[in-house]
Amino acid sequence: MTLYPAVLNVPKLDGVQSGRATLDSLRALARQALRVSAHMSGLALGELHQDADGAPVPCSSTYWSISHKPRCVAAVSSTYPTGIDVEEVKPRGRNLLGYVATPEEWQLLEGEDPWHVFYRYWTAKEAVLKAASIGIAGMKGCRVKSVPDATRVAIEYQGHVYLVRQLRHGRHIVSVVHRGETVEWVMAKPHDKSAQSAPLVE
């Protein structure tokens, strides 16, 4: 099986939108990317639901995950629990460096740009927590086990090792959890015919 995570650049929004309207637009674009992922994977998506904690509820036997930032959204569908996360690489408060990784984890990529490493680790751990249906509070329980190359990270969480593939997309890093199969990134476009919108019931 091949996993098809889809990434979509956010087009410039027309006019001035409220925060809620912008969030709704980003969610709609993420759902379009999800439709592309499902189409490429040959999986069916019905009406999308989230549970009381905001975690995606599987559609029949199709699991799904979405992530959105102001300039980029990402989504993935699969036959097993997975997670995806996207972040724009930009400096933040340095106190977060210690929150996302231990000194031992930092040593794995010693000498590399700290903010690039920060977002590689952050998105990998966030994707794992989504796959495990755990919130961000579980971040401290995730440990980077290995970083084989620029596109792979192995994360341990609650005694299980999760494989994560990563994509550097412009100023963004996207991470997706997989089970060792081929990961083929798909660059989606707004209004793709395979990305017909579906309601997300919250």
CATH number of the domain encompassing residue 191:
3.90.470.20
User: What is the number of structural domains in the chain?
Assistant: 1
Determine the average pLDDT of the residues in 147-158: 97
Entry pTM: 0.91
| Residues with Cβ within 8 Å of residue 43, at least 6 apart in sequence | 62, 77, 78, 79
Asked whether residue 104 carries a pLDDT value surpassing 80, the answer given is: yes
Q: Which of 19-23, 38-42, 48-52, 187-191 has the highest mean pLDDT?
A: 38-42
Residue ranges making up the domain that contains 118: 2-201
- How confident is residue 83, by pLDDT bands cut at 50, 70 and 90? very high
Structure-token pair, residue 136 = 């961000």
